[in-house]
């Protein structure tokens, strides 16, 4: 998956979870989630791994799915979330962990156990071809429904949220607080 599927689908999943939690009474006050962190978390594995594996370690790996596409990374974010939430009353790392978890699910990381379960299968990562990434992404986006359908869904979700933010005069609140209180 590419950018729009990750961000749009993750945003919708978090918003749906938040609305259901408030409706069921699990959460007393709506608007506890910082959706700016949801958007960052939805792309965090790629934000770190693509430059690291595709450019910095291009000669040795050439792979954009390395450290941050592992279960170890999710557990590290979760551990940081527990620490910051219970010691400092800051839930931000939980949100990042949740966004990254959705990223892993959308990438189907369980299909790549040598990466997802690193270092259980050894300390190395599968070697990729960094030169072929762009060509592969474009070809997949144009021909593979497993790629282009989620991208279309992500675009539609982002457009929906964007229109709601703009027409409900909520954009400023979102930019400064990360809240989606009236969307």
pLDDT tens for each residue of 11-48: 999 988 888 876 776 665 556 788 999 999 999 999 99
pLDDT tens for each residue of 55-112: 788 777 778 888 999 999 999 999 999 999 888 888 889 999 999 999 999 999 999 9
Q: Which residue has the tokens 């790549």?
A: 112
What's the pLDDT band for 177 if we cut at 50, 70, 90? confident
What is the reported pTM?
A: 0.87
| Residue 119 preceded by cis peptide, ω within 30 | yes
């Amino acid at each position: 998956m590419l950018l729009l599927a990750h961000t749009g689908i993750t945003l919708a999943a978090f918003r749906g979870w938040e609305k259901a939690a408030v409706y069921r009474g699990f959460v007393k006050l709506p608007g506890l989630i910082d959706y700016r962190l949801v958007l960052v978390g939805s792309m965090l594995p790629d934000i770190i791994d693509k430059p690291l594996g595709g450019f910095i370690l291009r000669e040795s790996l050439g792979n954009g799915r390395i450290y941050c596409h592992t279960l170890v990374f999710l557990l590290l974010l979760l551990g940081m979330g527990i620490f910051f939430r219970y010691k400092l009353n800051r839930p931000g790392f939980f949100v990042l962990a949740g966004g990254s978890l959705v990223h892993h699910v959308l990438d189907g990381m369980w299909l790549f156990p040598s990466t997802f379960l690193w270092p259980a299968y050894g300390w190395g990562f599968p070697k990729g071809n960094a030169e072929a990434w762009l060509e592969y992404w474009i070809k997949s986006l144009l021909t593979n429904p497993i790629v282009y359908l989620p991208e279309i869904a992500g675009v539609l979700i982002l457009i929906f949220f964007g229109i709601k933010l703009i027409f409900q005069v909520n954009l400023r609140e979102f930019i400064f607080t990360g809240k989606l209180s009236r969307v």
